[in-house]
Amino acid sequence: MAGEVEFWRQDPVTKAEGIVREVEQLARRARAADLLVTAYILELALEEARKDVRTKSERAQRAGT
């Protein structure tokens, strides 16, 4: 529970990066288990999460300048 609370207190970029790492791991596991459709869906989600990280990071940089 404490880990979850700490996660949600992190800044948006850090949260998004953590989610990207977790989805990458899940996609690799799905592909290794020959769950190709699941792996494909997770990889699509991964692409979107990476876009989100870039967007949040750019916003944070603009806000910091």
Which of the four pLDDT bands, split at 50, 70 and 90, describes residue 9? confident
d(CA 1, CA 9) in angstroms, rounded, equals 13
Residue 65: CA atoms inside 13 Å, Cβ hemisphere, count? 6
Answer whether residue 1 shows pLDDT above 60: no
d(CA 32, CA 41) in angstroms, rounded, equals 14
pTM of full prediction above 0.85: no
